[in-house]
Structure 1
């Protein structure tokens, strides 16, 4: 139940001008030029999105779009390299990551679901692992066991730092309470009042964790205007 409430609260935290408008209107995409196109989305895949715009079928690819909102599924997506390749920041404590520079130069970004948007962006994506060929008891090759896991990452836009919040799937558990606090404290450290408030928390449950991300993003939104960038 805690896991469910955590991610429900993440969705509740995603409030921006475009998102409020989308609740009253219909699906939309935001281009890399900052233009908003409304229509009816028929499919969102990691490498393309198709939608009807004025009765005409349109197909868009990650390099063309900045954000996507699917009203029917109540899901938001961002163009990102988060699924393509990250690497650990050397000697970072708690352990943090960044997008590999060579990935940005050589590979294409993908559409990835986002649960929070702002200076801290929370991503959610599913990844398959295993499934290769193995040798059976009879000596013949056969398909191996494949598992699917959900990955949750938080990226701080202003620094490019990434925290692995949670991985859920077979034999994989939740983020520890200690790491949850350490990651959040590091990401909101540049807002002293909010950071001080966090220090006084006796417990940091999933709902509270989400509330801090939402509050931090609201503060940053009031003070900063973010350029359109792919992370």
Structure 2
């Protein structure tokens, strides 16, 4: 008999690794754009890659996975080193780091919601809180570290994409669909909305100065 819970845990771990790499790439790219040396690149890649997950785990009373599993830091350090050597080639591809950011946003949104689902069951508010916190925590720190206003507060549809994807994920789970399928759909929704927002310059309403 197949241990279904083991399959889910393994699937979530793979997604978590993917999101960690995606966000680490955005952190490294931002550090390079601000003329950081290789140490600064690796530090920012690591902070952005694991900050959201660490915050989520602490809030839910869990020992941070990033501290107990050396793979996470290995991935962020590797991403920083690779970006140090390949950034000049990668930046020629329009919006490369933004695409990685969109993927990271999607993966971490659903990862956070999935972990809350494992802990508290099918409870919408904890799932939403955990998902959004995991998704935007690293990005906020990334922008603060380089003295920029966090993108989540000022530009395009960012956190809203995370919220919509988590709502879709919750709704599909509630209908009895397999968690893995629900996760893939949720990630696709968040990433898709974020990419469309960048392409068509979608923004939330702001106060107009008279």
TM-score, L = length of structure 2: 0.32
**Greater share of strand residues, 1 or 2?**
1
TM-score, L = length of structure 1: 0.30
Determine which structure has more spread, i.e. the larger CA radius of gyration. Answer: 1
Which gives a bigger RCO, structure 1 or 2 (Cα 8 Å, sep 6+)?
2
